[in-house]
Amino acid sequence: MNHKTRTSLWAWLWVIIGALYFFVPMYGTFDFSLRMIKGQISLEAYRVIIGDPLFQEAIVFSLEMAVITILISVILFVPTTYWIHLRLPKLRPVVELITLLPFIVPTIVLVFGLIRTYGGPPFSLTNTGETTNILLVGGYLVLSMPYMYRAIDVGLRSIDVRVLTEASLSLGSSWWDVILRVIVPNLRVAILSGALITFATVMGELVLADFLVRPALGPYMVEIGKDRVFEPAALTIFSFAINWAAMGLIAFFARGGTAQQITGR
């Protein structure tokens, strides 16, 4: 057996071990979720969940929050990142450091900070459900910031921002034309990948929604897990499916692009 074949076999061995480590528990969970009716394989647990009004409320709420977070995130980060690339390139390392903060500051600290700062006067944002949603979206924006910024940053690096901007301006474009007609269309894949990662993050997020007492999917999953057996397993598979669907869509729309453009890493 030559060196190349030996290396290839080792590589495959580790792939198989990794895959088993990941897929065996998942298979076990999936199998368990199908056994709600004794002695049968059925989708009963899924039927119960989907029919639960609390689940419907939770998923609709989380979807709304995800869409709002994505929209605000795109409106906020695209022009900002563009401007940094164009006019303030020396600030990039500083901004990159700032976008890493959500990885360093635990979400529990974030949510307590939000409640302390905005819960009381003059803001009093925790007084009603609607105003608490503002805090929730703000928290989601912070959590999704590393992914959205990085995705857009990588997208901007793959195009010659300065020259395209100058070409557009020389043809009489306003700054909005430059961003909307030239820059954003060339960032479609980057924005989409950032949006899908944000979507997956929001849909699966627990701490913010739980401590702000909002009817999101994360707290619902915890609640279900307290006194049910098969339904939490079904919800886990459901949650995985949402994430994989998001990743699959990124891969689908980014075909032909680089891996960096897809994940922002």
Partner 1 sequence: MAFLEFSHLHKEFSGSIAVQEFNLDVEQGEFISFLGPSGCGKTTTLRMVAGFELPSSGRVTLAGRDMTYVPPNKRNVGMVFQSYALFPNMTVAENIGYGLKVAGKPKTKIKHRVDEMLALIHMENFYGRYPGMLSGGQQQRVALARALAFQPQALLLDEPLSALDAKIRLELRMEIRRIQQQLGITTIYVTHDQEEALSLSDRIVVMSQGRIEQIGTPYEIYKTPSTEFVASFVGQLNLVPVKILDMEAKQGQLGEHIFQAGRLAEKFSPESPCLAVRPEEINLGHQDGHNNLQGKVESIHYLGSIVRIRVEVGEAHFLMDLFNDHKLIMPKVGENCNFNFPAEACWLI
Per CB under 8 A, residues contacting partner 1 are 159-160, 163-164, 166-174, 177, 181-182, 185-186, 188
- The burial of 57, by beta-carbon neighbours within 10 Å (0-12 exposed, 13-18 middle, 19 or more buried), is given as middle
Give me the half-sphere count of Cα atoms (radius 13 Å) on the Cβ side of residue 216. Answer: 28
Residue 151 or 182: which CB sits closer to partner 1? 182
Residue 18 or 185: which CB sits closer to partner 1? 185
CA dist 124 and 117 (Å) reads: 9
Smallest gap from Cβ 70 to partner 1, in A, equals 21
CA dist 86 and 28 (Å) reads: 51
Q: Residues 105, 123, 63, 194: is their CA dihedral positive or negative?
A: negative
Residue 164 or 251: which CB sits closer to partner 1? 164
Q: In this structure, what token pair is assigned to residue 234? A: 């079904």
CA dist 260 and 265 (Å) reads: 5
Residue 31 or 166: which CB sits closer to partner 1? 166
Smallest gap from Cβ 257 to partner 1, in A, equals 12
Residue 72 or 86: which CB sits closer to partner 1? 86
Residues near 107 by Cβ (< 8 Å), separated by ≥ 6?
139, 143, 205, 207, 208
Residue 188 or 265: which CB sits closer to partner 1? 188
Smallest gap from Cβ 159 to partner 1, in A, equals 7
Residue 89 or 129: which CB sits closer to partner 1? 89
E strand or H helix at 105: none
The single-letter DSSP state of residue 38 is: T
Smallest gap from Cβ 178 to partner 1, in A, equals 9
Smallest gap from Cβ 156 to partner 1, in A, equals 13
CA dist 205 and 83 (Å) reads: 30
Give me the half-sphere count of Cα atoms (radius 13 Å) on the Cβ side of residue 63. Answer: 7
Smallest gap from Cβ 174 to partner 1, in A, equals 7
Smallest gap from Cβ 72 to partner 1, in A, equals 24
- The burial of 128, by beta-carbon neighbours within 10 Å (0-12 exposed, 13-18 middle, 19 or more buried), is given as exposed
